[in-house]
Structure 1
Amino acid sequence: MAALPAARPSDSPSASASPAPSSATPTATPAPHFASDYAIPPVQGGLAPVITRVATKQPVVFLTIDDGATKNPESLALLEKYGYPATLFLTKSAMGDNPAFFKGFAQRGDHVQDHTISHDTTMSTKPYGYQFGEIKGMKDYITATYGTAPTLFRPPGGAYSGAMRKAVADAGLKAIIHWEAKANAGSMQYQYGNALRPGDIVLMHFRPEFASDLAAFRAAHLAAGLTVVRLEDFIGA
């Protein structure tokens, strides 16, 4: 999942963000660099790998934000305030009414990744052709809309299958990205333990409670002594 771009600090805005600093935005400070000790496993047997957590000794954590239904400018402002890079897994049915909203995220370096056209949570049970169409269709839409092809895929609802792994690989994507920690309804939820661990991939959503979810994530990563870095940079996606 060569030398990688410097990771951003969790407590200061990005030095590479495109908007010029304003009186409401703190001045950026030098970013710490965390050399990656992880790489995405290769496609094997025609099946894309599934990454649930990044196996790393570095004190890093990854923020991923899904769907795109709620388009509140506060979400981008909060990520800028705290200097948090994010990976966006967007679905056309949720964000397609205003794709321009997410160009602000792309301009600051956040990658728009593939989360299907329709967000069908039963997709993993459907025929290969249907799954490939949902995945490749969204890849093509993201490429046309934002000018950069996605490299990662997240299944709607989290369920995946062998057919889905094949469809992901055949669509030219590198990996399926899962999670074991989630910021939801203003609190953190963990599949294992009761705190964030190095290499955790955290799931959030563009929902009305974005600010309270981000606050819960912020408290958790600071308590764990982890820095938020961009998933794609660290794993080489």
Structure 2
Amino acid sequence: MSRRRLLLGAAGVTGVALAAAAVALGSSPDEVPPPVAAGSTPPPSPATTRSREPESAPVPVPVAVHQPIKTLGEYVKASGKPAFPSDAIALTIDDGPHPVWTPKILKLLDRLQIPALFCMIGNQVLGHEDVAKLVTGDGHQLANHTWSHPLHLGGKPSNVTQNEIRKAQSKIHKTTGQTPTLFRSPGGDWSPRLLKDIAKAGLLPLDWSNDPRDWERPGVPAIKQRMLSARPGQILLCHDGGGDRSQTYAALSAVLPVLKARGLQFVAL
């Protein structure tokens, strides 16, 4: 059993808020875990039962926030979770799962013992269920990145955004057993109305503070240079889906060991 699996085994959320969110968005009862009686501990998801840590106090239900989360400090404040170490940093990976690049990145992360948050697109999980299960099987966490990755999501009507959120949430949970608590808008496009819809779904809006723009494929040196500027408390953005991610993979292979050697501690969200 890897050290990362032990680290991430206790991840989970309160079932009451998630079930209420499902009702608000029109989901059927089997799309999310069943509600839990007040004061009781929610049952673990299949992903978390692979390697469980000793029982700990329930994590507070996330509260609605009015700005997307860009740093670990903002995440702690919004989620109510314990503070991270002062040298902590988080890696997030968007647009998968991808049948080629996701497994390659997973092997790299396993070798380096680095946890990551994979922001998955619902219609990418569709047809790549085995790859999505590899991610949670390795102990990583998942975020909702919409069903179809529509651009300019912040300007779309609520019925569109709620459907994008609900369909992705249902597919991710049914495939992996893990229920995301974080939502990332495609391209970091936000609006007050979208933030309200996210809160209604029981999710927290997640952004980033270090963007190497690897999705543009600017070349490995450019991606490396931007990632090497990372500082404690930041949330890094990279991609495993959306096309050829050979530049991203090469940059991660070079940069992640350097960041670890600097004393940065990668943490799970």
TM-score bucket of the superposed structures, by smaller chain: 0.7 to 0.9
What TM-score comes out, normalization by structure 2 length?
Answer: 0.64
Aligned to 2:202, the other structure's residue is in SS state coil
Q: 1:54 matched to which residue of 2?
A: 72
Aligned 8 A contact 2:72 2:90 in 1: no
* Match 2:205 to one of 176, 192, 195: 176
Aligned to 2:114, the other structure's residue is in SS state coil
Question: How many residues are paired up?
Answer: 193
Q: Which AA in structure 2 matches 1:196?
A: A
Q: 2:158 matched to which residue of 1?
A: 128
Note the C-alpha offset of 1:219.
5.1
Structure 2 residue 238 is the aligned partner of structure 1 residue 204: yes
Aligned to 1:121, the other structure's residue is in SS state coil
What are structure 1's unaligned runs of at least 5 residues? 1-12, 19-38, 233-237
Q: Which AA in structure 1 matches 2:68?
A: V
Q: 2:55 matched to which residue of 1?
A: none
Note the C-alpha offset of 1:16.
4.8
Higher helix fraction (1 or 2):
2
Q: Distance in 2 between matches of 1:157 and 1:189?
A: 21
Q: Compared with structure 1, are the counterparts of its residues 14 and 53 closer, same or farther at alpha carbon in structure 2 (3 Å cutoff)?
A: same
Q: Distance in 2 between matches of 1:117 and 1:102?
A: 14
Higher strand fraction (1 or 2):
1
Q: Distance in 2 between matches of 1:190 and 1:176?
A: 23
Note the C-alpha offset of 1:220.
5.2
Note the C-alpha offset of 1:85.
0.5
Q: Distance in 1 between matches of 2:158 and 2:259?
A: 38
What TM-score comes out, normalization by structure 1 length?
Answer: 0.72
Identity rate of aligned residues, in percent? 30
* Match 1:166 to one of 187, 192, 196: 196
Question: What are the residue-to-residue correspondences of 1:99-114 with 2, within 5 Å?
Answer: 99-114=129-144
Q: Distance in 2 between matches of 1:179 and 1:122?
A: 17
* Match 2:92 to one of 59, 64, 72: 64
Note the C-alpha offset of 1:140.
1.3
Q: Deviations over 1:103-140 (max 9, x none)?
A: 11101221121000010012111111111111122111
What are structure 2's unaligned runs of at least 5 residues? 7-59, 74-83
Choose between structure 1 and 2 for higher RCO, CA contacts under 8 A separated by at least 6 residues. Answer: 1
Q: Distance in 2 between matches of 1:142 and 1:180?
A: 25
Runs of 4+ in 1 over 3 A off after TM superposition: 188-191
Aligned 8 A contact 1:125 1:161 in 2: yes
Q: Distance in 2 between matches of 1:93 and 1:143?
A: 13
Q: Distance in 2 between matches of 1:190 and 1:165?
A: 28
Q: Deviations over 1:72-102 (max 9, x none)?
A: 2322111111011010101023342212112
Q: 2:35 matched to which residue of 1?
A: none
Aligned to 1:143, the other structure's residue is in SS state helix
